Amino acid sequence: MGRPQPQHRRLGSRTIALRPARIATVLTLVGMLVLGVGAAATMRQLSGNITTSPLRAGSSAERGAAHGDLNILLLGSDSRDLAEESFGEADGSRRSDAMVLAHLSADDDRIDAVQLPRDTLLDLPACEDTGDGSFPGGRGMLNAALNYGPACSVAAVEELTGVPVDHFVELDFEGFMAIIDALGGLPVCLPDALEDPAADLDLPAGQQTLGGKDALALARTRHAVGDGSDIARLGHQQMVMSAVVQEATSRQVIARPDRLYSFLDATTSALTVDPGLSGIADMAALGSRVSRVPTEDISFLTMPWQAAPGDANRVVPSAEAEAVFEHLRRDVPLLSSGGDDGSAADDGGDTEGADGAGSTAPATAASPTGSPAGPQEPSDVTPIETAARPADTDLCAS
């Protein structure tokens, strides 16, 4: 099936911060597969670590990763079927604790990652059995689709966004902790001390390096931030994700073969992917492309949302969300072109717009490196007001 030809522009925007810190490493790690681990035997071993699951029911055709713009669905599973019993009793179910639709541009010059709040309500499409049972479809939350397998999540995201999904990557709690520990810990900077007994979180304010368990607790805490809702905690989770990207691409990892291999081994062992990403050639092709994207051109954005009618604890896409999805479909950048849009870095707290819809101003949308403005926005693309955050944001900036 043909896809629209890419058109390029930069945009200014304003929305809440991105949640799934534990998935941000995925697009970076495949780049390092090529840059740091060139031996074919090593790549075969790492590829053998990965579990696969169908992208769609009844379809064997997989789109390659070597050319064109790509949309990759990143899924953070909340499955309790784990060796670590502290996450709760295993019951065989799993939902997406985090969902991100990551877009790699056709020119390999940027990655735009859009978080889809897990509490988003929609009419979920019916799903055929791909190994996790079938689903007849019906009204429900976006995160529930994963209980019927990644292919059902792919179908639900395509229904919500209208964006064709080319690949998916799934990661669970234990996988995230293993990745952080393999990195040697995660440097973060907290403006305030955080305590949440429910998440086993007790961290002081200031600059510190977290192990895998604390990093996961920081990404998942509800009660230490805002009003305890899923939306309120998104700011801290974006900070964690920025830290993961910065650490995974640092010379402390890339220049040390032992740490790089440990990181890649832990990461690939934690992943479930579609068959189109499971082979050495496909992973190497995607890795080579991702490695060319500067950190400042990886941007984070959350789907613009508003409270669901009749249920203030759930959300639905706001009118602006369709403009965001249009940018992904047309390969148009989410990061501002460098004009001052008046947004500034903050502590990631949730704020409420005049229309009652949730939005935050995460960080300045302009690149902190002062790079020149990018291509202008096409006149036929709907502008949005949501500020995207670049992955190289200074984590300790006030």
In a domain, 360, yes or no: no
Distance, in Å, from the CA atom of 35 to the CA atom of 288, rounded to the nearest integer, reads 8
Where does the pLDDT of residue 228 fall: very low under 50, low under 70, confident under 90, or very high at 90 and above? low
- 324 vs 394, more confident: 324
Q: What is the CATH number of the domain that holds 279?
A: 3.40.630.190
Q: What is the mean pLDDT of residues 315-329?
A: 95
Cα 330 to Cα 5, 299, 385, distances in angstroms? 7, 16, 18
Res 48: pLDDT: 80
What is the band of 182 on the pLDDT scale with cuts at 50, 70, 90? confident
pLDDT at 221: 78
What are the backbone dihedrals phi and psi of residue 280, each rounded to the nearest 5 degrees, phi first? Answer: -60, -45
Q: Please give the pLDDT value at position 53.
A: 92
Estimate the crossing angle of helix 173-182 against helix 257-270, to 10 degrees.
180
CB 5 within 8 A of CB 268: no
Q: What is the pLDDT of residue 110?
A: 92
Alpha carbon distances (Å) from 290 to 20, 26, 110, 132, 241: 19, 10, 8, 31, 16
Neighbours of 8 (CB within 10 A): 18
341's CB contacts (< 8 A; 6+ apart) are 12, 14, 364, 365, 366, 387
Distance CA 13, CA 320 (A): 10
DSSP per-residue codes, 197-262: GGGTEEE-SEEEEE-HHHHHHHHH-STTSTTSSTTTTHHHHHHHHHHHHHHHTSHHHHT-HHHHHH
Instruction: Say how far apart CA 104 and CA 101 lie, in whole Å.
Output: 10
Residue 174's pLDDT is what?
79
Half-sphere exposure of 31 (CA within 13 A, CB side): 21
**Token pair of 380, please?**
């036929």
In a domain, 359, yes or no: no
Q: Give the SS3 label for residue 26.
A: helix
Decide if 255 is inside a domain: yes
Q: Does 30 map to a domain? A: yes
Whole-angstrom CA distances from 152 to 51, 345, 395 are 17, 36, 36
Answer whether residue 213 is part of any domain: yes
pLDDT digits over 256-270, tens only?
Answer: 777 777 777 887 887
Angle between helices 212-220 and 234-248 (to 10 degrees): 150
pLDDT class of 249 with cuts at 50, 70, 90: confident
Q: How many domains does the chain have?
A: 1
Instruction: Let me know if residue 347 belongs to a domain.
Output: no
Q: Residue 338 falls within a domain, yes or no?
A: no
Q: Is residue 374 over pLDDT 70?
A: no
Q: Is 281 left (phi over 0), alpha (psi -120 to 50) or beta?
A: alpha
- Domain of residue 144 covers 21-311
Q: Does 159 have pLDDT greater than 70? A: yes
The predicted structure's pLDDT at residue 291: 78
Q: For the purposes of burial, counting CB atoms within 10 Å of the CB of 300, is it exposed (0-12), middle (13-18) or buried (19 or more)?
A: buried
Higher pLDDT, 215 or 264: 215
CA distance 307 to 160: 16
Q: Does pLDDT of 364 surpass 60?
A: no
Residue 380 lies in a domain: no
Q: What is the separation of C-alpha 357 from the centre of its chain, rounded to a whole number of angstroms?
A: 22
Of 257, 254, 258, nearest to 245 by C-alpha is 254
Q: What is the C-alpha separation between 111 and 92, in angstroms, rounded?
A: 34
Give tens-digit pLDDT for 120-153.
999 999 999 998 899 999 999 999 999 999 999 9
Residue 365 has pLDDT above 80, yes or no: no
Q: Which of 9-18, 54-63, 308-317, 348-357 has the highest mean pLDDT?
A: 308-317
When pLDDT is cut at 50, 70 and 90, the band that residue 345 belongs to is very low
pLDDT above 90 as % of the chain: 28
> 307 forms bridges with which residues in the sheet?
315
Rounded mean pLDDT of 51-62? 83
Asked whether the predicted pLDDT for residue 280 surpasses 90, the reply is no
Above 70 in pLDDT, residue 29? no
Specify the range with the lowest mean pLDDT, choosing from 9-23, 59-73, 180-194. Answer: 9-23
Instruction: Give, for 379, the enclosing helix (H) or strand (E).
Output: none
Q: Average of pLDDT values for 211-235?
A: 73
Q: Are strands 51-52 and 271-273 parallel, antiparallel or unpaired?
A: parallel
Between 364 and 172, the more confident residue is: 172
Give me the mean pLDDT over the 231-239 stretch.
Answer: 64
Looking up tokens 């019993």, which residue turns up?
85
pLDDT value for 230:
66
- H or E, element range at 372: none
DSSP classification of residue 322:
H
Q: How far is Cα 204 from Cα 326, in angstroms, rounded to an integer? A: 41
Quote the pLDDT of residue 233.
Answer: 60
Confidence at 99, pLDDT banded by 50, 70, 90:
confident
pLDDT at 94: 66
